[in-house]
């Protein structure tokens, strides 16, 4: 094994067909045949409105009936959520479950093993679910470990959210996902398609096909520089429009959507024109980009809290100099961009970049989105029906309605009056199984 291989800790993860896994994740649960939940309030994610007292009937892993008032059914298990507001299970469309930045992250790259990262990811998955996020889109991992995590959650080996994963993010040489950036030349090697690095449309197609082969549900591409790598360029374009188009056309052929990490205006413009499904971060989005995103129906995942978090960490000296400079520039800008993009009619989905900040605090974006001027009800739609639409699974997720998967969470009080209650999720049900009740974890294993 050469040094490059050692650094990438290449491990073969069994490839699984995404469709089969998606279905297996939602196999009928061991929950009682019928459960009845009494919700004092229920958020209607389609209308963006709060409903009064509602009874939710659950049969197996799906919602059966949703009716006004307080009702019951013979032989049913009744759950009273006194004083609470019920919402569809929350969805975070931008997480990194196998990673969490800490003060030792950059030094750890030299001595933390792949297995260490995988074991940590099981804790991060559990924290995410207990925070009320019953579904996540993982947009960038190491060596497809979240494909294995997806399978472990589906099998019940690990407690966590339903996972849709992009596998490793894809990038050009020296780009944001080139993990040899900043290493000494002796250690860099020449990463190529097998390491998710490409140059030119043909290699781009190969990288996308390799991801399909290894079980990715979607593609995450890095057409602009980023904050957390050791490169110097935080926002400039790092892919040609032709390269992005090759990614999008190939991914769509295979039924996979494309999310792009893009900070700079030119990288956003090229990506939207090439037909990507979502822009992540979007920090320096200009008015022309906003117009284009509205026209193309491109989703925006703003990761607004992460912007604030990295700027604060940079001020405390938590990052190397190259990262500090970029974090101070990019962080504060995102909140302004969020306001402009919302006013400009861009469609938002909830995506936080959990992993850059600690997992389980995925609710922080609600607070900052409201600070940016978004209506609280819209932020809740972002994390339910809009996020489900971006996943392409709004037929079964993001809404409490008959026939949908029984993902339901509750918070004390009313988030339309006080958005901070989203930090206090007290009840979590995923596919009909209760994982948290009265703010305490319910052991399911």
Residue ranges binding Zn ion (CB under 5 A): 353
C-alpha to C-alpha distance for 24 and 163, rounded to whole angstroms: 11
Nearest to 234 by CA among 284, 270, 298, 185: 284
Tokens of 265: 């205006």
Asked whether 302 and 337 are in contact (CB, 8 A), the reply is: yes
**Gyration radius (Cα) of the chain, Å:** 21
Min. distance of Cβ 94 from Zn ion in angstroms?
6
C-alpha to C-alpha distance for 93 and 354, rounded to whole angstroms: 10
C-alpha to C-alpha distance for 126 and 135, rounded to whole angstroms: 12
Min. distance of Cβ 351 from Zn ion in angstroms?
8
Min. distance of Cβ 353 from Zn ion in angstroms?
4
C-alpha to C-alpha distance for 374 and 400, rounded to whole angstroms: 23
State the DSSP code for 384.
I
Residue 231 CB-half CA count within 13 A: 21
- From the number of C-beta atoms within 10 Å of its C-beta (0-12, 13-18, 19+), residue 369 rates as buried
C-alpha to C-alpha distance for 342 and 316, rounded to whole angstroms: 31
Min. distance of Cβ 251 from Zn ion in angstroms?
18
Alpha-carbon distances, residue 87 vs 49, 126, 272, 310 (angstroms): 11, 19, 32, 30
C-alpha to C-alpha distance for 22 and 33, rounded to whole angstroms: 23
Min. distance of Cβ 188 from Zn ion in angstroms?
23
Nearer to Zn ion, 302 or 432 (CB): 302
Nearer to Zn ion, 29 or 138 (CB): 138
Min. distance of Cβ 420 from Zn ion in angstroms?
24
Min. distance of Cβ 139 from Zn ion in angstroms?
6
C-alpha to C-alpha distance for 275 and 273, rounded to whole angstroms: 5
Nearer to Zn ion, 243 or 353 (CB): 353
Min. distance of Cβ 242 from Zn ion in angstroms?
25
Tell me the helix, strand and coil percentages in the chain, rounded to 5.
35, 20, 40
Tokens of 345: 């009619």
* DSSP states of 178-211: -TTTTS-HHHH----GGGTEE-SHHHHHHHHHHH
Nearer to Zn ion, 239 or 421 (CB): 239
Min. distance of Cβ 119 from Zn ion in angstroms?
21
Alpha-carbon distances, residue 335 vs 194, 302, 374 (angstroms): 36, 9, 11
With CB atoms as reference, the residue minimizing the distance to Zn ion is 353
Min. distance of Cβ 169 from Zn ion in angstroms?
8
Ramachandran region, residue 431 (left: φ > 0; alpha: ψ -120 to 50; beta: rest)? left
Nearer to Zn ion, 44 or 353 (CB): 353
C-alpha to C-alpha distance for 257 and 139, rounded to whole angstroms: 11
Nearer to Zn ion, 26 or 353 (CB): 353
Min. distance of Cβ 281 from Zn ion in angstroms?
8
């Amino acid at each position: 094994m050469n040094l490059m291989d050692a650094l990438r800790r290449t491990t073969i993860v069994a490839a699984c067909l995404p469709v089969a896994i998606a279905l297996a994740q939602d196999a009928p649960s061991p929950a009682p045949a019928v459960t009845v939940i009494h919700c004092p309030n229920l958020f209607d994610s389609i209308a963006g409105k709060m409903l009064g007292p509602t009874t939710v009937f659950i049969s197996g892993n799906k919602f059966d009936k949703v009716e006004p008032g307080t009702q019951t059914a013979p032989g049913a298990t009744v759950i009273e959520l006194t004083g609470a507001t019920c919402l569809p299970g929350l969805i975070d469309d931008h997480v990194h479950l196998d990673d969490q930045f800490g003060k030792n992250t950059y030094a750890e790259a030299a001595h933390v093993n792949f297995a260490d990262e995988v074991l940590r990811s099981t804790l991060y998955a559990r924290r995410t679910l207990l925070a009320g996020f019953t579904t996540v889109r993982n947009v960038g991992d190491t060596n497809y470990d979240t494909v294995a995590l997806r399978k472990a959650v589906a099998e019940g080996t690990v407690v966590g959210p339903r996972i849709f994963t992009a596998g490793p993010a894809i990038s050009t040489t020296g780009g944001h996902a080139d993990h040899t950036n900043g290493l000494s030349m002796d250690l860099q090697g020449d990463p190529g398609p097998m390491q998710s690095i490409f140059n030119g449309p043909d290699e781009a197609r190969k990288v996308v096909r390799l991801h399909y082969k290894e079980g990715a549900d979607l593609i995450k591409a890095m057409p602009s520089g980023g904050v957390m790598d050791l490169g110097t360029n935080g926002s400039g374009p790092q892919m040609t429009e032709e390269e992005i188009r090759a990614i999008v056309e190939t991914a769509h052929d295979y039924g996979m959507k494309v999310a792009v990490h893009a900070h700079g205006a030119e990288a956003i413009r090229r990506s939207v024109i090439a037909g990507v499904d979502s822009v992540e971060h979007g920090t320096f989005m200009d008015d022309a980009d906003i117009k284009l995103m509205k026209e193309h129906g491109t989703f925006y995942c703003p990761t607004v809290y992460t912007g604030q978090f990295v700027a604060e960490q940079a001020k405390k000296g938590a990052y190397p100099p190259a990262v500090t400079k970029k974090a101070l520039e990019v962080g504060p800008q995102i909140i302004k961009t969020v306001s402009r993009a919302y006013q400009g009619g861009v469609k938002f989905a909830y995506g936080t970049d959990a992993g850059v900040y600690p997992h389980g605090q995925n609710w922080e974006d609600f607070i900052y989105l409201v600070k940016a001027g978004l209506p609280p009800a819209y932020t809740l739609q972002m994390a339910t029906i809009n996020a489900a639409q971006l996943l392409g699974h709004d037929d079964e997720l993001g809404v409490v309605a008959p026939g949908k998967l029984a993902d339901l969470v509750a918070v004390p009080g009313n988030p339309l009056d006080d958005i901070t209650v989203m930090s206090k999720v007290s009840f979590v049900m995923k596919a009909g199984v209760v994982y948290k009740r009265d703010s305490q974890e319910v052991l399911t294993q």
